[in-house]
Amino acid sequence: MLAFTFNFFIMKIWLDGKLVDPSEATVSVFDHGVLYGDGVFEGIRFYSGKVFRLEEHIVRLFDSMRYLNVNCPWSFEEVCQATKDTVAANGMEDGYIRLVVTRGKGDLGLNPRNCPKPSMFIIVQNIALYPAEMYENGLSLITSTFRRPNPDILCPQVKSLNYLNGISAKMEAVAQGAGEALMLNQRGNVAECTGDNIFIVRNGVVMTPPLTEGALGGITRHAVFDICAELGITCIEKVMNRFDVLSADECFLTGTAAEVIAATSLDGRKIGSGVAGPVTGRILARFRTLVRE
C-alpha cells in the first residue's frame, strides 16, 4: 500500500495570524470546513528553504476563494509572507506545506452568511509520497469506476476541501494493490488521477488532457510545459481515452507531492516498456534541478 509518509516533527503552525504550537492549532467543531468541506487549500513544496512557485499557488488559492465567495481577511502579499514565515519558523530545508482556508465558524445550517469570518492555517511537514525506487519502476494504475463530475456539478478548477470523489477512487486503487487510479470524465475521456495530472508520450510528443476534460490546473503540470519548451520537447493538450494511455510509449503523473513520476501499467497491462521511459527521465531530471535554482 502506498501512502503519504510524514515526519511529525512540527514546531509551529500558522493559525489566523499567529504562529502557535500544534496543541494550540485548533478549529471549532462549528467550522464549515469541518461540517461541510466548505473551504479551499493548497499543497506547496519548498526546497533548500525556498518555496517553489509560491505566487502561482497563492493565485490559485485566491481564484478558488473568489469562486466560492470566501472573503479572505488577509491580502495576497500577507498570505505569501505567512507561508514563508511558517517555513522559516520550522527550520526545515525541504518539505511540504498545507495551506487551508475554511469558511469559518458558523452554525449547523448550510447558509454561508452565518460564517462571519474565514479561518486560515498553514502546516509544514516532511513528505515522501512514493518510495525512491518507484520513480524508476513506475506506478501501477487502475481505471476507477468513479467519474470526475461535470463542471456544472463540481468545478475541477476549484481546489476545495471536498475530495470525496478522489478518495473513493483512491480506495479502489488501494484495494486492487495499485499506486493510483485513472479517472475518466462523464464522456469516458481521461481527466486526471485522484490527486495528480497525467501525461503520455507518443513518438516523442508529450500530451496531456486539456483542463476542459475535468482536470485541475496543476502547478507542476505548468512546470512540465515550461520544461518541455526549454528541452525542445513538443508538449500539447489532447483529448484522450484509455486507448491512448495503453498505446503510449510512456506515461507519467505530476503533482506537488508526487513531483514527476512514471506510470508503467494500467489495469494490469504494461504501458510502453514497463519502466520509466527516457522522455520521462529527462523531464524528471530537469524538474529536480529546477526546484533548487
Please give the Cα distance from 36 to 12 (Å, whole number).
27
**279 and 233 in contact (C-beta within 8 Å)?**
yes
Active-site residue flag, 238: no
Residue among 12, 105, 159, 170 flagged as catalytic: 159
Strands 205-208 and 259-266: unpaired
Please give the Cα distance from 10 to 21 (Å, whole number).
8
Please give the Cα distance from 117 to 267 (Å, whole number).
46
Provide block-wise average pLDDT over 10 residues at a time, the chain (293 residues).
48 95 95 97 96 98 97 96 97 96 96 96 89 88 96 92 96 97 97 97 98 96 98 98 98 96 97 96 97 92
Q: Which amino acid is at 286?
A: R
CA distances for 106 relative to 31, 65, 109, angstroms: 6, 17, 8
**156 and 191 in contact (C-beta within 8 Å)?**
yes
Per-residue b/e over 136-146, b at no fewer than 16 CB within 10 Å?
A: eebbbbbbbeb
Ordered by where they begin, the domains of the chain are: 5-128 (3.30.470.10), 134-290 (3.20.10.10)
Q: Which amino acid is at 250?
A: E
pLDDT at 4: 47
pLDDT at 130: 83
Place of cell 514546531: 11
pLDDT at 127: 84
